[in-house]
Amino acid sequence: MTKNKHKDKKGPLLDVKKLKTYFYTEEGVVHAVDGVDFHIMPGETLAIVGESGCGKSVTSLSVMQLIGQPGEIIEGEIFFNGENLLAKSEYEMCKVRGNQIAMIFQQPSGCLNPVFDIGYQVAEVLEVHQALGEETGRKRAVEWLSKVGIPDAEKKSSAFPHEISGGQAQRVMIAMMLSNLPDLLIADEPTTALDVTIQAQILELMDKMQDQFGTSILVITHDMGIVAEMADRVAVMYAGQIVEQASVFELFDNSKHPYTTALLASIPILGERKEKLSTIPGSVPNLVDLPPACRFAPRCQVRLEKQMTRCTEEMPPLFNVTDNHIARCWVYEDKK
Out of 1, 35, 39, 53, name the contact with ligand ATP by CB under 6 A: 53
Q: Whole-number minimum distance, CB 25 to ligand ATP, in Å?
A: 5
Nearer to Mg ion, 44 or 189 (CB): 189
Letters for 277-296 (x = contact with ligand ATP by CB under 6 A, - = none) are ----------x---------
Give the C-alpha separation, 329 to 317, whole Å.
7
Amino acid at 279: T
Tell me which of Mg ion, ligand ATP, none is bound by residue 32, counting a contact when its beta carbon lies within the kind-specific cut-off of 5 to 8 angstroms.
ligand ATP
Report the candidate in 149, 151, 150, 122 with the shortest Cα–Cα distance to residue 137.
Answer: 122
User: Residue 71, interface with ligand ATP (CB under 6 A)?
Assistant: yes
By CB under 6 A, name the one of 5, 23, 202, 210 that touches ligand ATP. Answer: 23
Q: Does 63 contact ligand ATP by CB under 6 A?
A: no
Residue 30 is a binding residue for ligand ATP (CB under 6 A) = yes
Distinct helix (H) and strand (E) counts, the chain: 11, 12
237 class by beta-carbon count within 10 Å (0-12 exposed, 13-18 middle, 19+ buried): buried
Which CB atom, from 25 or from 165, has the smaller least distance to ligand ATP?
25
State how far the Cα of 21 lies from the Cα of 36, in Å rounded to an integer.
Answer: 9
Element (H, E) at 139: helix 134-147
Q: 3-class DSSP state for residue 184?
A: strand
Binding partner selected for residue 287 from ligand ATP, Mg ion, none, CB under the kind-specific 5 to 8 Å limit: ligand ATP
Cis peptide before 291 (omega within 30 of 0): no
Cα distances (angstroms) measured from residue 165 to each of 114, 156, 191, 200: 13, 12, 14, 16
CB nearer ligand ATP, residue 50 or residue 316: 50
Whichever of 51 and 143 has its CB closer to ligand ATP, that residue is 51
User: At its nearest, how many Å lie between ligand ATP and the CB of residue 64?
Assistant: 13
Q: What number of chain residues touch Mg ion (CB under 5 A)?
A: 2
Q: Does 57 bind Mg ion (CB under 5 A)?
A: yes
Residue 54's binding partner out of ligand ATP, Mg ion, none, with CB under 5 to 8 Å set by partner kind: ligand ATP
Contacts of ligand ATP in 90-119 (CB under 6 A): none
* In the complex, minimum distance from the CB of residue 169 to ligand ATP, in angstroms, rounded to a whole number: 20
Exposure string over 274-310, b if 16+ CB within 10 A, otherwise e? eeeeeebeeebbebeebeebbbbbebbebbeeeebee
> With contacts defined by CB under 6 A, how many residues of the chain interact with ligand ATP?
15
Half-sphere exposure of residue 119, counting CA atoms within 13 Å on the CB side?
Answer: 18
Q: Is 57 in the site for ligand ATP (CB under 6 A)?
A: yes
Q: Give the Cα separation of 319 and 317 in Å (integer).
A: 6
Which residues make up the interface to ligand ATP (CB under 6 A)?
Answer: 23, 25, 30, 32, 50, 52-58, 70-71, 287
Which residues make up the interface to Mg ion (CB under 5 A)?
Answer: 56-57
